[in-house]
Amino acid sequence: MPLITPLPPDHDAEVAELAQFFNETLGFCPNSVLTMQRRPAIAKAFIQLNKAVMENKGRVTSDLKRLIGYMASLTAGCQYCQAHTIRAAERYGAAEDKLAHIWDYHTHPAFNAAERAALDFAVAAAAVPNSVDDAIAENLRRHWDEGEIVEILGVIALFGYLNRWNDSMGTSLEDPAADSGRQYLGNHGWTGGKHLQ
């Protein structure tokens, strides 16, 4: 059972307008945002941060950003965010091979060296304690420029917030996200956990 029940999507008109962003990314407004709107300033600030972080300014594509978010959420253990990020990666055109082999990104030919560096960084940066070391940082700099590294870490940090929010809230997983979790993650230990009631 969630710690706090989400409010209806039309509870706050300004939040509802901003939250239309999620209709593109997920196909629905997430329950996490519907809970945040109990303090509308938090919901609005979060949506604006999400939009800024997920905007593309370089070679870090929309689908790669979602796969980075997935690896950060997998590392943190948040099954709610795992389902959301894999769904969004699919919606943004991630190759089927990448969706099916994200756990094998180190060796699977669907991933190139730059993507592997970004995903290694996601795992290390999301770990507690943080495990970004000189080798991971140097490999990241070998493949990405400084602005792109800021984008990558922005995604990881955004999901650090979301992982804590959703696991602490026990946010209920929406049916479309649960379906994506079962489809892409179910054979790799994903159950939905406390997010499926």
> What pLDDT, in 10s, does the model give residues 73-95?
999 999 999 999 999 999 999 99
| DSSP letters for 46-106 | HHHHHHHHHS-SSS--HHHHHHHHHHHHHHHT-HHHHHHHHHHHHHTT--HHHHHTGGGTT
Q: How many domains does the chain divide into?
A: 1
Which pLDDT score is estimated for 58?
Answer: 83
The parent domain of residue 91 ranges over 59-195
pLDDT of residue 96: 96
Q: Among residues of the chain, what percentage have pLDDT more than 70?
A: 100
Q: Which of 110, 123, 105 is nearest to 160 (CA)?
A: 123
User: What is the pLDDT, as a whole number, of residue 57?
Assistant: 86
Establish if 77 belongs to a structural domain: yes
User: Of 127, 132, 187, 194, which is closest to residue 167 (Cα–Cα)?
Assistant: 194
Does 153 reside within a domain? yes
The whole-number average pLDDT for the span 145-166 is 98
> Does 148 fall in a domain?
yes
The structure's pTM equals 0.96
Q: What pLDDT, on the 0 to 100 scale, is given for residue 179?
A: 97
Q: Answer whether residue 30 is part of any domain.
A: no
Q: Does residue 153 have a pLDDT over 80?
A: yes
Q: Amino acid identity, residue 155?
A: V
Task: Give the mean pLDDT of 96-123.
Answer: 97
Asked whether residue 25 is assigned to any structural domain, the reply reads: no
Is 13 domain-assigned? no
Q: What is the CATH number of the domain that holds 187?
A: 1.20.1290.10
Q: If you average pLDDT over residues 60-75, what whole number do you get?
A: 98
Q: Name the average pLDDT for the chain.
A: 96
| Within a domain: 159 | yes
Mean pLDDT calculated for residue range 126-152: 98
- Roughly how many angstroms between the first and final C-alpha of the chain, as a whole number? 7
**Residue 197: pLDDT above 80?**
no
Question: Model confidence over 3-38: pLDDT tens digits?
Answer: 999 999 999 999 999 999 999 999 999 999 999 999
Residue with the two structure tokens 């959420």: 73
Q: Looking at residue 189, what DSSP letter applies? A: T
Task: Return the pLDDT at 41.
Answer: 97
Give me 160's structure tokens.
């650090």
pLDDT score of 190: 96
Residue 160 lies in a domain: yes
Mean pLDDT, range 133-157, rounded to an integer: 98
